[in-house]
Amino acid sequence: MNNHLIFQRELLKHSESIDFKDAKKEWSLLESYKVKQNTPEQCICTKKIFNIFIIDNKQNNNLLKIGSDCFKHIDKSKSDEAKKDFKIKLDMEKNPEKYCLKCNTKKRKQKNEDLYLCRCQKLEYELNEINIYGEKNCFTFGKYKERPFINQAKNYSYINWLSNIKTPIANMSRFLKYVNKLNSLETEKLNIKGIPL
């Protein structure tokens, strides 16, 4: 008997439905992990497996341990996603110096620079650049004339007033672009786990 038929038979044994198509819908992914090459586990289809998927039956709370090939029959998109995660984890184990421990992303070469940065380092680099821009550029009009942009970056009533002007001068537009870029970088920083504010 081939492995797929064994998988179908075993899945049906632990499902409420007697039809395989309906039985598949009862199951969802609970967790996934990768085992070391010298300690494979066994799928319900009898194959040795290294990428382990624990699936949970929503109707009867049964749990099954299956491999990536069998998990494709339950949810192909999640199977492909998990395979990518497994590859990244394997690469992280082999080449820990290529990855950041804060954001778990690979360090990439920056365009036109001999510099490798991960996502959080790139974000810090961009924040530093935008802050330098905010310190160097000054207003050319109004009560804040000759003051740097960075001083008014959090003045929401002033930003709101500038945004509502129908024909802003170039200096106003530069300030508003600066504020938008700064806010988007700070929002991204909040979304990356492990980066202190």
pLDDT of 193 > 70? The answer is no
Per-residue pLDDT tens for 160-192? 888 888 888 899 999 999 999 999 998 888 877
Q: Answer yes or no: do 124 and 185 share one domain.
A: yes
100 part of a folded domain: no
**123 alpha carbon, distance to own chain's centre:** 15
Using the 3D structure, point to which of 30, 61, 94 is the last residue of a domain. Answer: 94
- Give the model's pLDDT for residue 162: 87
pLDDT value at residue 129 = 93
Angle, CA of 168, 174 and 177, to the nearest 5°: 105
State whether 187 and 118 are in the same domain. yes
Residues 130 and 77 in one domain: no
Task: Look up residue 197 and give its DSSP letter.
Answer: -
Position 20 scores a pLDDT of 92
Residue among 102, 97, 126, 96 at smallest CA distance from 196 = 102
Mean of per-residue pLDDT scores for the chain: 85
What is the number of other CB atoms lying within 10 angstroms of the CB of residue 66? Answer: 27
* Residue 186 belongs to some domain of the structure: yes
Q: Tokens 């009862």 label which residue?
A: 26
User: Residues 82, 28: one domain?
Assistant: yes
Verify that 86 and 112 share a domain, yes or no. Answer: no
- Tell whether the model's pLDDT for residue 123 goes beyond 80: yes
Indicate the range of 63-72, 87-96, 150-159, 168-177 predicted with least confidence.
Answer: 87-96
List the domain range (segments joined by +) for residue 170: 108-191
d(CA 155, CA 27): 52
Asked if the structure places residue 99 within a domain, the reply is no
33, 38, 43, 45 alpha-carbon torsion, rounded to 10°:
150
The model's pTM is: 0.49
| Domain end position, chosen among 46, 61, 94 | 94
